[in-house]
Amino acid sequence: MRPLAAAFALILSIALVPAISFAAPWKIDPDHSHLTFTVDNLGFSLTQGQFRKFSADIDFDPENVETSSVSFVIDTNSVDTNSKGRDKSIRSKNYLNVKNFPEITFVSDTVRLIDDNTAEVKGEVTIRGETREATFMAEMIRIAANPFSKNTQLAGFAATGVINRVEFGITYGAPAVGVDINVRLDLQLKEQK
Protein backbone atom coordinates (compact mmCIF):
# COMPACT_ATOMS: atom_id res chain seq x y z
CA MET A 1 0.00 0.00 0.00
CA ARG A 2 1.27 3.48 -0.84
CA PRO A 3 2.48 5.39 2.24
CA LEU A 4 -0.04 8.21 1.83
CA ALA A 5 -2.87 5.74 1.32
CA ALA A 6 -1.86 3.79 4.41
CA ALA A 7 -1.66 7.00 6.45
CA PHE A 8 -5.06 8.08 5.20
CA ALA A 9 -6.59 4.70 5.99
CA LEU A 10 -5.31 4.90 9.56
CA ILE A 11 -6.58 8.44 10.00
CA LEU A 12 -9.91 7.56 8.41
CA SER A 13 -10.53 4.71 10.78
CA ILE A 14 -9.69 6.89 13.77
CA ALA A 15 -11.54 9.96 12.56
CA LEU A 16 -14.79 8.16 11.96
CA VAL A 17 -15.00 7.53 15.68
CA PRO A 18 -15.52 10.50 17.95
CA ALA A 19 -14.15 9.06 21.20
CA ILE A 20 -11.71 6.16 21.11
CA SER A 21 -10.27 3.95 23.78
CA PHE A 22 -7.51 2.83 21.43
CA ALA A 23 -3.73 3.12 21.90
CA ALA A 24 -2.97 4.81 18.58
CA PRO A 25 -0.57 7.56 17.52
CA TRP A 26 -3.54 9.92 16.89
CA LYS A 27 -6.19 11.26 19.23
CA ILE A 28 -9.38 13.13 18.35
CA ASP A 29 -9.52 16.74 19.47
CA PRO A 30 -13.06 17.03 20.94
CA ASP A 31 -12.98 20.83 20.74
CA HIS A 32 -12.62 20.64 16.95
CA SER A 33 -14.65 17.51 16.14
CA HIS A 34 -18.39 17.50 15.57
CA LEU A 35 -21.24 15.20 14.51
CA THR A 36 -23.82 17.39 12.78
CA PHE A 37 -26.89 16.99 10.59
CA THR A 38 -29.27 19.02 8.46
CA VAL A 39 -32.87 18.36 7.43
CA ASP A 40 -35.25 20.28 5.17
CA ASN A 41 -37.87 22.33 7.05
CA LEU A 42 -41.10 22.68 5.05
CA GLY A 43 -39.14 23.55 1.92
CA PHE A 44 -38.19 26.95 3.34
CA SER A 45 -34.93 26.32 5.20
CA LEU A 46 -32.56 23.72 6.57
CA THR A 47 -32.73 22.86 10.24
CA GLN A 48 -29.26 22.23 11.64
CA GLY A 49 -28.41 20.10 14.65
CA GLN A 50 -25.78 18.02 16.33
CA PHE A 51 -25.29 15.17 18.76
CA ARG A 52 -23.11 16.24 21.67
CA LYS A 53 -22.33 12.77 23.07
CA PHE A 54 -20.98 9.79 21.14
CA SER A 55 -18.33 7.08 21.55
CA ALA A 56 -16.65 4.49 19.36
CA ASP A 57 -14.29 1.53 18.91
CA ILE A 58 -12.08 0.47 16.04
CA ASP A 59 -10.04 -2.52 14.96
CA PHE A 60 -7.58 -1.52 12.29
CA ASP A 61 -4.55 -2.84 10.44
CA PRO A 62 -3.01 -0.05 8.30
CA GLU A 63 -1.38 -2.67 6.06
CA ASN A 64 -4.69 -4.46 5.40
CA VAL A 65 -7.51 -1.92 5.13
CA GLU A 66 -10.03 -4.57 4.09
CA THR A 67 -9.95 -6.10 7.58
CA SER A 68 -10.67 -2.80 9.33
CA SER A 69 -13.79 -2.22 11.39
CA VAL A 70 -15.35 0.93 12.80
CA SER A 71 -18.27 1.25 15.18
CA PHE A 72 -19.79 4.12 17.07
CA VAL A 73 -22.64 4.84 19.45
CA ILE A 74 -24.60 8.10 19.57
CA ASP A 75 -26.51 9.19 22.67
CA THR A 76 -29.90 10.16 21.19
CA ASN A 77 -30.75 12.29 24.23
CA SER A 78 -27.79 14.55 23.37
CA VAL A 79 -29.48 15.95 20.24
CA ASP A 80 -29.20 19.73 20.09
CA THR A 81 -30.84 21.91 17.41
CA ASN A 82 -30.60 25.16 19.40
CA SER A 83 -34.33 25.00 20.22
CA LYS A 84 -35.57 23.42 23.46
CA GLY A 85 -39.04 22.86 22.02
CA ARG A 86 -37.78 21.25 18.83
CA ASP A 87 -35.28 19.10 20.76
CA LYS A 88 -38.10 17.89 23.02
CA SER A 89 -40.10 16.96 19.90
CA ILE A 90 -37.12 15.13 18.34
CA ARG A 91 -36.65 13.14 21.57
CA SER A 92 -40.35 12.18 21.63
CA LYS A 93 -42.05 9.06 20.25
CA ASN A 94 -42.71 10.96 17.02
CA TYR A 95 -39.02 10.93 16.11
CA LEU A 96 -36.11 9.33 18.04
CA ASN A 97 -38.15 7.98 20.98
CA VAL A 98 -35.12 8.32 23.25
CA LYS A 99 -36.89 6.74 26.24
CA ASN A 100 -37.09 3.40 24.44
CA PHE A 101 -34.15 3.84 22.06
CA PRO A 102 -31.33 5.72 23.84
CA GLU A 103 -28.72 4.99 21.15
CA ILE A 104 -28.06 5.18 17.44
CA THR A 105 -25.30 2.81 16.33
CA PHE A 106 -23.12 2.32 13.28
CA VAL A 107 -21.04 -0.81 12.60
CA SER A 108 -18.91 -0.92 9.48
CA ASP A 109 -18.74 -3.82 7.06
CA THR A 110 -16.06 -2.43 4.74
CA VAL A 111 -13.58 0.43 4.48
CA ARG A 112 -12.40 0.92 0.89
CA LEU A 113 -9.92 3.48 -0.36
CA ILE A 114 -11.16 5.31 -3.46
CA ASP A 115 -7.96 7.35 -3.90
CA ASP A 116 -5.28 8.95 -1.72
CA ASN A 117 -7.75 11.47 -0.29
CA THR A 118 -11.10 9.65 -0.28
CA ALA A 119 -12.47 6.48 1.27
CA GLU A 120 -15.84 4.76 1.26
CA VAL A 121 -17.12 3.27 4.52
CA LYS A 122 -20.12 0.92 4.33
CA GLY A 123 -21.93 -0.54 7.28
CA GLU A 124 -25.16 -0.84 9.23
CA VAL A 125 -26.95 1.95 11.05
CA THR A 126 -29.50 1.10 13.73
CA ILE A 127 -32.11 3.69 14.70
CA ARG A 128 -35.19 2.92 16.82
CA GLY A 129 -34.44 -0.80 16.58
CA GLU A 130 -34.39 -0.80 12.76
CA THR A 131 -31.13 -1.65 10.98
CA ARG A 132 -30.31 -0.50 7.46
CA GLU A 133 -27.18 -0.32 5.29
CA ALA A 134 -25.47 3.08 5.00
CA THR A 135 -22.49 4.49 3.11
CA PHE A 136 -20.27 7.35 4.23
CA MET A 137 -17.63 9.10 2.16
CA ALA A 138 -14.58 10.45 3.98
CA GLU A 139 -12.28 13.10 2.55
CA MET A 140 -8.87 13.88 3.99
CA ILE A 141 -8.45 17.63 4.38
CA ARG A 142 -4.87 18.01 5.55
CA ILE A 143 -2.00 16.44 7.50
CA ALA A 144 0.63 18.94 8.67
CA ALA A 145 2.55 20.31 11.64
CA ASN A 146 0.55 22.35 14.13
CA PRO A 147 1.50 25.98 13.37
CA PHE A 148 1.64 26.68 17.12
CA SER A 149 3.63 23.54 17.96
CA LYS A 150 5.85 22.35 15.11
CA ASN A 151 6.62 19.08 16.94
CA THR A 152 2.96 18.00 16.79
CA GLN A 153 1.24 16.72 13.67
CA LEU A 154 -2.45 17.44 13.05
CA ALA A 155 -4.85 15.75 10.64
CA GLY A 156 -8.31 16.79 9.59
CA PHE A 157 -11.05 15.45 7.38
CA ALA A 158 -14.79 15.31 6.80
CA ALA A 159 -17.09 12.32 6.40
CA THR A 160 -20.59 12.65 4.94
CA GLY A 161 -23.61 10.46 4.32
CA VAL A 162 -27.39 10.52 4.00
CA ILE A 163 -29.87 8.68 6.22
CA ASN A 164 -33.49 8.21 5.07
CA ARG A 165 -35.46 8.48 8.33
CA VAL A 166 -38.59 6.82 6.88
CA GLU A 167 -36.59 3.61 6.40
CA PHE A 168 -36.22 3.53 10.20
CA GLY A 169 -39.94 4.02 10.86
CA ILE A 170 -39.67 7.76 11.59
CA THR A 171 -42.53 8.94 9.38
CA TYR A 172 -43.96 11.79 11.45
CA GLY A 173 -44.23 15.03 9.48
CA ALA A 174 -42.89 13.51 6.25
CA PRO A 175 -42.46 14.82 3.66
CA ALA A 176 -43.06 18.37 4.96
CA VAL A 177 -40.21 17.80 7.39
CA GLY A 178 -37.46 16.31 5.25
CA VAL A 179 -37.05 12.56 4.84
CA ASP A 180 -33.30 12.65 4.08
CA ILE A 181 -31.02 13.53 6.99
CA ASN A 182 -27.63 14.78 5.80
CA VAL A 183 -24.97 13.69 8.29
CA ARG A 184 -21.47 15.16 8.55
CA LEU A 185 -18.47 14.36 10.75
CA ASP A 186 -15.86 17.13 10.95
CA LEU A 187 -12.82 15.82 12.73
CA GLN A 188 -9.40 17.00 13.82
CA LEU A 189 -6.77 14.59 15.08
CA LYS A 190 -3.61 15.20 17.07
CA GLU A 191 -0.55 12.98 16.87
CA GLN A 192 0.35 11.39 20.20
CA LYS A 193 4.04 11.07 21.04
| 16-27 tens-digit pLDDT | 444 433 334 567
Q: Is it the case that residue 100 has pLDDT exceeding 90?
A: yes
Selected residue with higher pLDDT from 172 and 5? 172
Note the pLDDT tens digit of each residue in 131-180.
Answer: 999 999 988 888 889 999 888 888 788 889 999 999 999 999 999 999 99
CATH code, 16: 2.40.128.110
Structural domain containing residue 170: 3-191
pTM: 0.78
Categorize the per-residue pLDDT at 56 as very low, low, confident or very high, splitting at 50, 70 and 90.
Answer: low
What φ, ψ does residue 3 adopt, rounded to 5°? -55, -45
Please give the tally of structural domains in the chain: 1
What's the rounded mean pLDDT across residues 59-82? 75
